[in-house]
Amino acid sequence: MARVLIVDDSPTETHKLTTMLEKNGHALLTATNGEAGVGVAREHRPDVILMDIVMPGLNGFQATRQLSKNGDTSGIPIVIVTTKDQDTDRVWGMRQGARAYLTKPVDESKLLGTIEEVLA
């Protein structure tokens, strides 16, 4: 299965996503903010990144932009997973380089299907 990096400042959300993914055989990496997420992505090269938007410091939009513009990490698909559900947020996230956009709370089957899609 895939090696997934979860970038989210909420321990509760990270736990929920971790539980869903581990029981389906995925290996996990985590980061608690955008800056740490960029560092973990560059060092460990996950297969896919689940990126929250609202985080202290470097937010998810900024981190997504940095990763998608960097030659070393531009091939890693990023799925935004956030509470921000406005169309403008979705459009902006995709413009920053995200391959998919999911809103919380995330349905397990939708999450797994989206990961499969972006890895195909």
Split at pLDDT 50, 70, 90, the class of 3 is: very high
Alpha carbon of 3 to those of 43, 46, 83, 105, 107: distances in Å?
13, 5, 24, 22, 19
Closest to 60 measured CA to CA, from 26, 84, 88, 28: 84
Q: Does the 3-119 domain belong in CATH 3.30.465.10? A: no
Task: Tell me the pLDDT tens digit for each residue of 69-117.
Answer: 999 999 999 999 999 999 999 999 999 999 999 999 999 999 999 999 9
Read off the pLDDT band of 12 (50, 70, 90). Answer: very high
Q: Is the pTM of this model over 0.95?
A: yes
- Produce one character per residue of 66-86: b if its CB has 16 or more CB atoms within 10 Å, e if not: bbbeeeebeebbbbbbbebee
Domain residue extents for the chain = 3-119
Show Cβ contacts of residue 84 under 8 Å, excluding neighbours closer than 6 positions: 53, 54, 103
